[in-house]
């Protein structure tokens, strides 16, 4: 089992057949690879409770696959709770991480917890606990703490040092004492950041150590025994071909060392790691324009299909699936949106793209379809899932009628 799946590892003929049958732009998700990645996490954390962070990819096929593999599901919104339940999750196993939750979300979670007392609600603001109490909720809760250390691939995902997320370290003990009086305090939670690779591992483990210390303080202040310490996810996948993948066995060892002798169940919440290299986008070249400044290659995918390059300046590998052996040349690949941000790469060497060629944009399984939108009134793409030799449509392609369907 390889630790990362590169674009060249995908079956070229199968990708071309998918593009011909289902059209482009098209999301493709390989459920077999999702299982492989999950199993790797399980082996690295044999005594931990592994929860899949649903926000990375909430497609029912992915959620059902992971539930069947034995994963629990962590949700950050009411819609994700609903999706997990519809995919077959027992609500008593779900964990809801509330970040500035809208009233409707909190209503949904509180009602769900009243009916299913195994549900755990995690909150990172005293205000949120007050709002839960106002709704009559007195069940299982965890406190999200802010260790003051953030790591990850971009400042917008370094949540461990962002005031938006979690109770500040110097207030955790007081909040724990208050919360334990009103709820069943069962855990401490933190998420340091996303996209953690080897260069970030020291900071990540240092933050885990701080969170473990905060869990000790919270348990003492609340005069209770905690059930779990949830260190979130954040395990990264190398989007760039030259970057080395994580050795998850090493990560597991380092994390356990950072937690130390804390007598709790360790929880981890991988999301990106499980689904990133299991997904890609197929897109068709429709325009080739040579200028003095650049050779521009226009495709039918756009920032409405995949917004990560525009939002995070994210790198995604691209391959000419139709003609991978043509001589490479530097090209800029962009979509049909009327903004300079709608670009997937600039002056990147690719096997010479020609009109009607199919390109693959890799590492699109996490936060790809989840952030897809209807900018420029573009219908969202279809998604197919592969499971061994089987292929099925997991999400239908939207039509122009779907774009305006909810309007009055």
In a domain, 253, yes or no: yes
The verdict on whether residue 272 carries a ligand-binding annotation is: yes
pLDDT at 162: 60
The verdict on whether residue 271 carries a ligand-binding annotation is: yes
Number of structural domains (the chain) is 2
The verdict on whether residue 234 carries a ligand-binding annotation is: yes
31-35 own/partner pairs: CB under 8 Å, 24+ apart: 31/61, 31/62, 31/65, 31/278, 31/385, 31/386, 31/387, 32/386, 32/387, 32/388, 33/5, 33/277, 33/278, 34/62, 34/65, 34/66, 34/274, 34/275, 34/278, 34/365, 35/65, 35/69
pLDDT at 1: 56
In a domain, 58, yes or no: yes
In a domain, 82, yes or no: yes
In a domain, 21, yes or no: no
Tell me: do 261 and 321 sit in the same domain: no
Q: What is the mean pLDDT of the chain?
A: 94
pLDDT at 126: 95
150, pLDDT greater than 60: no
Q: What is the CATH number of the domain that holds 110?
A: 3.20.20.10
Q: pLDDT digits over 11-40, tens only?
A: 999 999 999 999 999 999 999 999 999 999
Tell me: do 236 and 331 sit in the same domain: no
In a domain, 6, yes or no: no
pLDDT at 2: 74
Tell me: do 244 and 346 sit in the same domain: no
In a domain, 23, yes or no: no
114, pLDDT greater than 80: yes
Tell me: do 286 and 269 sit in the same domain: no
Going by C-beta distance under 8 Å and a sequence separation of 6 or more, which residues neighbour residue 373? 304, 307, 380
Q: pLDDT digits over 298-352, tens only?
A: 999 999 999 999 999 999 999 999 999 999 999 999 999 999 999 999 999 999 9
135, pLDDT greater than 80: yes
373, pLDDT greater than 90: yes
pLDDT at 156: 42
pLDDT at 192: 81
- The more confident residue out of 350 and 161 is 350
pLDDT at 153: 43
In a domain, 98, yes or no: yes
Tell me: do 205 and 337 sit in the same domain: no
The verdict on whether residue 352 carries a ligand-binding annotation is: no
pLDDT at 337: 97
Tell me: do 310 and 170 sit in the same domain: no
Tell me: do 122 and 254 sit in the same domain: yes
Query: What is the length of the chain?
Result: 408
160, pLDDT greater than 60: no
Q: pLDDT digits over 65-93, tens only?
A: 999 999 999 999 999 999 999 999 999 99
The verdict on whether residue 288 carries a ligand-binding annotation is: no
Tell me: do 167 and 242 sit in the same domain: yes
Last residue of a domain, one of 274, 301, 330: 274
In a domain, 16, yes or no: no
Q: What is the CATH number of the domain that holds 319?
A: 2.40.37.10
Last residue of a domain, one of 251, 274, 297: 274
pLDDT at 152: 44
Catalytic residue among 75, 205, 337, 338: 338
Last residue of a domain, one of 225, 243, 274: 274
Tell me: do 143 and 155 sit in the same domain: yes
pLDDT at 222: 96
Tell me the pTM.
Answer: 0.94
Tell me: do 247 and 358 sit in the same domain: no
The verdict on whether residue 367 carries a ligand-binding annotation is: yes
Concerning whether 345 is annotated as a catalytic residue, the answer is no
Tell me: do 160 and 297 sit in the same domain: no
The verdict on whether residue 27 carries a ligand-binding annotation is: no
pLDDT at 102: 96
* Domain coverage including residue 331: 277-399
CA–CA dist 272, 279 (Å, integer): 11
Respond yes or no on whether the N-terminal peptide bond of residue 2 is cis (omega within 30° of 0): no
pLDDT at 158: 44
């Amino acid at each position: 089992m390889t630790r990362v799946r590169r674009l060249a590892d995908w079956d070229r003929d199968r990708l071309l057949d998918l593009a011909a049958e289902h059209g482009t732009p098209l999301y493709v998700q390989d459920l077999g690879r999702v299982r492989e990645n999950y199993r790797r996490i399980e082996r690295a954390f044999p005594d931990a409770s592994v929860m899949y962070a649903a926000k990375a990819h909430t497609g029912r096929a992915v959620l059902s696959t992971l539930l069947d593999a034995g994963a629990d599901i962590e949700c950050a919104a009411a819609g994700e709770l609903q999706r997990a339940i519809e995919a077959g999750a027992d609500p008593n196993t779900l964990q809801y991480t509330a970040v500035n939750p809208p009233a409707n979300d909190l209503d949904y979670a509180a009602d769900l917890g009243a009916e299913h007392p195994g549900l755990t609600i995690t909150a990172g603001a005293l205000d949120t606990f007050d709002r839960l109490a106002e709704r009559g909720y007195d069940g299982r809760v965890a406190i999200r703490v802010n260790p003051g250390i953030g790591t990850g691939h971009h400042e917008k995902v370094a949540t461990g040092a962002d005031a938006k997320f979690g109770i500040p370290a110097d207030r955790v003990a007081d909040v724990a004492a208050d919360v334990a009086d009103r709820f069943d305090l069962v855990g401490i939670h933190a998420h340091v950041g996303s996209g953690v690779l080897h260069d970030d591992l020291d900071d990540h483990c240092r933050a885990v150590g701080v969170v473990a210390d905060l869990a000790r303080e919270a348990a003492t202040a609340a005069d209770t025994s905690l059930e779990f310490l949830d260190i979130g996810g954040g395990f990264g996948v190398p989007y760039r071909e030259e970057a080395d993948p994580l050795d998850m066995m090493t990560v597991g060892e380092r994390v356990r060392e950072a937690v130390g002798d804390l007598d709790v169940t360790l929880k981890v919440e991988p999301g990106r790691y499980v689904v990133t290299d299991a997904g890609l986008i197929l897109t068709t070249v429709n325009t080739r324009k040579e200028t003095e400044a650049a050779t521009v290659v226009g495709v039918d995918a756009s920032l409405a299909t995949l917004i990560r390059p525009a939002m995070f300046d994210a790198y995604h590998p691209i391959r000419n699936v139709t003609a991978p052996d043509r001589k490479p040349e530097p090209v800029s690949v962009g979509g049909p949106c009327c903004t300079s941000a709608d670009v997937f790469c600039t002056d990147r060497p690719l096997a010479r793209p020609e009109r009607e060629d199919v390109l693959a944009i890799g590492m699109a399984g996490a936060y790809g379809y989840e952030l897809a939108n209807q900018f420029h009134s573009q219908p969202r793409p279809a998604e197919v899932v592969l499971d061994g030799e089987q292929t099925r449509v997991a999400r239908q392609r939207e039509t122009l009628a779907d774009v305006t369907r909810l309007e009055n």
